[in-house]
Structure 1
Amino acid sequence: MSTSPAVEKALREAMSRLITGRPQSTDGKLTKENLYREAGVSRATMNRATAVMAEWDVYVADHGRRTKGESKRDTEIAELTAKLRKKTAQCTELQHKLEAAATVIAALHHDNEALREHLASRDGGGNVVPLARPRGEIHDPP
């Protein structure tokens, strides 16, 4: 038993709406349940439309069950995930550099303190004396 041309037309229009991501009465997922609900026919009537069901099966086999909107969304998610992964790697690299710089600064601070102590023990005052006057200085400071 076959279906009427009107039923086949309704199913093809429903299939087109689902494929293009413009459903009118379903959530838009590419399922047979959405196809017959979108077309406004029963599941049994849909199953009797063998030509339309063959077209549906070929489309789903070729393109999967994702709509164009879902495919676009998934592509955007994949791109954003890749960007996030790259930025996370950059942040990790910068964190390592920051930690290395902090270690060097701490070592330099320790060396500076040791030198000050050495100078203090050597001349008794611990004052650092400049070797030359800065440029532009005309007279001795008070």
Structure 2
Amino acid sequence: MSGAADERDRIRAAMDRILTGRPERSNGALTVVALALEAGVPRNALTQRHLDLKNEFYAKVKERGHPTDVETRLRKQVVRLKELRQKDKAELEQLRADVQGLVRVVNQLTVENRQLRDFMSTPDPVVRVLPVQHTRPQHD
């Protein structure tokens, strides 16, 4: 038997073991990595030389109705990223609102500062010290 035929036989046998839940060399995950490990072949044997077997494996996995481990992991990651995106979006909206408020305060303070400087530049400005108001806690 040639090396390629032997390799294909080992891949098919590994496919059967994984799909029936009886892995011997791998963790039994429904991935090309696990299939290659189970068959005792390098991963590139499935991704380059035996694409038909890789596609057949994924087709059988899909027929079972169970998502692959990679798909399950990626779906969880997509959900997490969408949640993070929503959180970031809400935070960005709050920051934009805060910036607008701060711009208004800076503009108001700029006007008041200009008025105060104009007033202080007049001859003999009258400056009065206002009493400091202390806030006291209210008791019910």
Q: What is the TM-score of this pair, normalised by structure 2?
A: 0.50
| Higher RCO structure, 1 or 2 (CA under 8 Å, sep 6+) | 1
Report which of the two structures shows the higher radius of gyration computed on alpha carbons.
Answer: 1
Q: What is the TM-score of this pair, normalised by structure 1?
A: 0.49
